Amino acid sequence: MGKRYFCDYCDRSFQDNLHNRKKHLNGVQHLRAKRVWYDLFRDAAAILQEEQTKKPCRKFLQTGQCDFGSNCRFSHMTEQDLEKLSAQVQGEQRLKELRQEGADVPLGTIEDWLEKRAKRLSTTQSN
């Protein structure tokens, strides 16, 4: 039977020989799966920059879905999505600048969040 090659990106295996492996690695399905995998690890600034250069997808805006999905060359982000992403990028940049300046930036804990939430709830209930 011989050795088998398993592709982690595509989640499939095939007989391992030079021809089959070359054919698979240059295939459209593999290249798309590989791109999707690496896109998971991009930072928000890179995503924002790429999305701002793209034109909006007309089909996605009209129907709410696109046949091409993540492979579409047009943007599927609304204005609100872009605003949220730019706010996230600005927040990350401010945090990065504060850390470079040597400011002590405390990390939030669950207990802190619960205390703030309890205070907010008690003030809203008293009003």
Q: What is the pLDDT of residue 70?
A: 75
- Mean pLDDT of all residues in the chain? 87
Residues 9 and 59 placed together within one structural domain of the fold:
no
Nearest to 29 by CA among 13, 10, 8: 10
* 15 pLDDT above the threshold of 60: yes
Residues 65 and 98 placed together within one structural domain of the fold:
yes
Chain-centroid distance of CA 28 in Å reads: 21
Domain ranges, residue 22: 1-41
Residues 50 and 90 placed together within one structural domain of the fold:
yes
60 vs 70: CA distance, rounded Å: 11
Other Cβ atoms less than 10 A from the Cβ of 111: the count is 8
Confidence of residue 1 (pLDDT cuts 50, 70, 90): low
- Establish if 126 belongs to a structural domain: no
Q: What is the pLDDT of residue 35?
A: 87
Residues 48 and 100 placed together within one structural domain of the fold:
yes
- Spatial neighbors of 70 by CB under 8 A, at least 6 apart, are 36, 39
Task: Classify 15 as helix, strand or coil.
Answer: strand
Confidence of residue 125 (pLDDT cuts 50, 70, 90): confident
- pLDDT (tens digit per residue) in 71-112: 789 999 888 999 999 998 998 888 888 888 876 666 667 777
* 40 pLDDT above the threshold of 70: yes
- Establish if 118 belongs to a structural domain: no
Quote the percentage of the chain above a pLDDT of 70: 94
Q: What is the pLDDT of residue 58?
A: 93
Residues 50 and 80 placed together within one structural domain of the fold:
yes
| Highest mean pLDDT, choosing among 21-30, 102-111, 118-127 | 21-30
Q: What is the pLDDT of residue 116?
A: 85
Average pLDDT over every residue of 12-41:
91
Tokens describing residue 8 = 């982690």
Residues 90 and 50 placed together within one structural domain of the fold:
yes
- Burial (CB count <10 Å: 0-12, 13-18, 19+), residue 25: middle
